[in-house]
Amino acid sequence: MFFINRILNFMLYPGARTIVTAQSEYQRFRTLGKSPKIHFEEAYDGQPIMLLALYQKGRLRPDLIRLIKTARAQGIYVLGVNTLKLKQPEELRGLVDCYIERPNFGRDFGSYKTGFLHLFTRRWEGTCPRLLMLNDSVFYSEKRLPKFLEDMMTSDIEVLGSTENFDIEHHMGSFCIAIGSVVLRHKLFKKYWKNYRLTDVRPTVIKHGELKLSKVLKRCVTGLDQFVALYSASRYIEAIKTDRELMDFAIANVRTSKIFAWKRASLKNVAVEFRDRYAIRKEDPGAFTKGVEVSSHEYFEEVYLENFDALYTYIKDVLKAEDINIYDLHNLVVAELGEGFLSGSQVHQNACILLETGLPFVKNDGLYRGIFSLEDINRISTLIEPDEASELLALLVSRPYGGRYLTGWKRAAFEAGLI
């Protein structure tokens, strides 16, 4: 059945691409001549700005309200740009400083463009010390927000992403990037937003939006050390080298979904690698290598290893040796966890780990993309407040895995990343 579906999706792809492109161009035509509407705007006085790209209908999600209140408490000017419409926009007065609604075309980068052009028109970039661009494609956890916003907005790093991504090429997740004044005022940065062409076609937005934005930001910073992520892979790897509790947490909370092909770190992989690297089988006594003798039978049985100490004890027992080098074993575990962390989109791949280390949000499409399993969601839920866990669960399950629940051309479009 799997191969039949793959063949069917392949056959439907050209039509799916045509439909998605046509829908985008139809929406472009429908929104021609329509301008963003500024519902209200408070005076700006040179404070840091949070540009929040929204896709909210009727009312704001509770987690977004908590985010905005936290930002306001830290003296941040909130500029909200919504692609949909709220029932009572005026109710946001006192919560949002400037609220704009725009035609529904261009996805989140359309809202970012509206926000940045508004900022440039007002010439706020001349006095703004720092700007944080965020969108609502993530669910925000309140207790982690104050420190996170402080870390992002008080840093001297010119471009500070929340997380990074090594898919296709290294770039920052565009759902959360803090930008310093030297970049805000840079002519290349301004030119990028003025020339950005809106589209609803997802791969095009990724290519000319997220990926190209990172390229432009790299050209605008004064040095490569000024383009980094707060929760970077290097920070994580350094942390698990010395923090055994974090290492054990990462071992116990590896992503479990098998749908997406990104690497999932496993102590089984470590055990097999350690055996292959250091063990000498009895039937090959002439082998000259560091190691210990082991029997040739299948000795790595199914067993639950929940932390580093359990792995060490198990290997020591199975290999029947007293001189297992704990340093070598530790390095293998660090490498296995590090490679797993680096694989794919880090914010999706490492949701539990990032929450544990302080990142205050979870990607809303984790279940829809097949990256989260329900087991993963349950683990994530234990790391946030019960009321937030209920909100997050409702948000995630409202978009179940597209590869299972979509049909026809939509399924083909989903499998190809078009939607």
Bridge-based pairing state of the strands 130-135 and 98-101: unpaired
Report yes or no: 71 and 100 within 8 Å, Cβ to Cβ. Answer: no
Residue-by-residue pLDDT tens, the chain, 419 positions: 555 556 666 667 788 899 999 999 999 999 999 999 999 999 999 999 999 999 999 999 999 999 999 999 999 999 999 999 999 999 999 999 999 999 999 999 999 999 999 999 999 999 999 999 999 999 999 999 999 999 999 999 999 999 999 888 899 999 999 999 999 999 999 999 999 999 999 999 999 999 999 999 999 999 999 999 999 999 999 999 999 999 999 999 999 999 988 899 988 889 888 878 876 655 555 544 444 444 444 444 555 678 999 888 888 877 666 677 888 899 999 999 999 999 989 999 999 999 999 999 999 999 999 999 999 999 999 999 999 999 999 999 999 999 999 989 999 999 889 99
Q: Which region, left, alpha or beta, applies to residue 168 given φ > 0 means left and ψ of -120 to 50 means alpha?
A: left
Looking at residue 290, its pLDDT comes to: 47
In sequence order, what are the residues at sequence separation of 6 or more whose Cβ sits closer than 8 angstroms to the Cβ of residue 150?
A: 74
Looking at residue 167, its pLDDT comes to: 83
Looking at residue 4, its pLDDT comes to: 56
DSSP state letter for 103: -
Report yes or no: 99 and 44 within 8 Å, Cβ to Cβ. Answer: no
Looking at residue 323, its pLDDT comes to: 73
- Looking at the whole model, is its pTM more than 0.85? yes
Query: d(Cα 119, Cα 79) in Å, to the nearest integer?
Result: 9
Looking at residue 278, its pLDDT comes to: 74
Four-CA torsion 10, 12, 17, 23, nearest 10 degrees: -160
Query: d(Cα 290, Cα 298) in Å, to the nearest integer?
Result: 21
Query: d(Cα 124, Cα 184) in Å, to the nearest integer?
Result: 9
Looking at residue 96, its pLDDT comes to: 98
Query: Distance from CA of residue 150 to its chain's centroid?
Result: 19
* Residue 353, both tokens: 């780990």
Report yes or no: 337 and 366 within 8 Å, Cβ to Cβ. Answer: no
Q: What is the DSSP string of 251-301?
A: HHT-----SS-S----HHHHHHHHHHHHEEETT-TT--SS-EEE-SS----
